[in-house]
């Protein structure tokens, strides 16, 4: 039981630190986007569909770094709100998602609010820090999503 003594416990966890930062930033973006009716996760998905769409669910899951189940659960309210729609795919086993006119209008409403909160967050850091953060976060995704680098315990 020595490993459970206070002096033997870890003082820093990368995962917990990243999750705490993510929750804090997500809350700011969610509050900014509230008048559009979107959460930042939904905004991100709409923007990906707008940029890459029509796009199949598997590709969208990869773009968002989400598993398919989580993505499908997040897509449901967007479909119900008629912001996206499912359309036939070349592969009958796969759904393709397309943004609707209502989805585009929602993005038009949300985008200025997203830009404003993005600017407010960016102002807390230097341009160099923002560049480093972008590179660091992209590196994290690349390193830990690659099959060769998955850590097995």
pLDDT band at residue 153 under the 50/70/90 scheme: low
- What token pair was written down for 48? 């990906």
What's the length of the chain? 153
Output the domain CATH number for residue 75.
1.10.10.10
- Look at residue 139 and tell me if it is in a domain: no
- Look at residue 145 and tell me if it is in a domain: no
pTM recorded for the entire structure: 0.84
- Look at residue 141 and tell me if it is in a domain: no
Segment 123-128 long-range contacts (CB within 8 Å, at least 24 positions apart): none
Question: Across the strands, what pairs with 85?
Answer: 98
Domains in the chain, number? 1
- Look at residue 73 and tell me if it is in a domain: yes
pLDDT tens for residues 29-70? 999 999 999 999 999 999 999 999 899 998 999 999 888 899
Residue among 56, 80, 86, 62 at smallest CA distance from 142: 62
- What token pair was written down for 136? 């660091």
- Look at residue 87 and tell me if it is in a domain: yes
Range of the domain at 63: 38-118
């Amino acid at each position: 039981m020595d490993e459970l003594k206070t002096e033997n416990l870890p003082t820093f966890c990368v995962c917990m630190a990243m999750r705490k930062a993510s929750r804090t930033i997500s809350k700011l973006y969610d509050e900014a986007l509230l008048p559009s009716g979107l959460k930042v996760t939904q905004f991100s998905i709409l923007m990906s569909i707008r940029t890459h769409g029509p796009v199949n669910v598997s590709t969208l899951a990869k773009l968002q770094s989400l598993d398919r189940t989580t993505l499908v659960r997040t897509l449901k309210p967007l479909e119900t709100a008629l912001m996206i729609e499912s359309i036939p795919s070349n592969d009958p086993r796969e759904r393709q998602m397309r943004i609707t006119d209502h989805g585009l209008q929602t993005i038009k409403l949300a985008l200025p609010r997203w830009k404003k909160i993005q600017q407010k967050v960016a102002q807390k850091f230097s341009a160099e820090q923002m560049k480093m953060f972008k590179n660091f976060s992209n590196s994290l995704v690349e390193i830990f999503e690659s099959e060769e680098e998955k850590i097995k315990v």
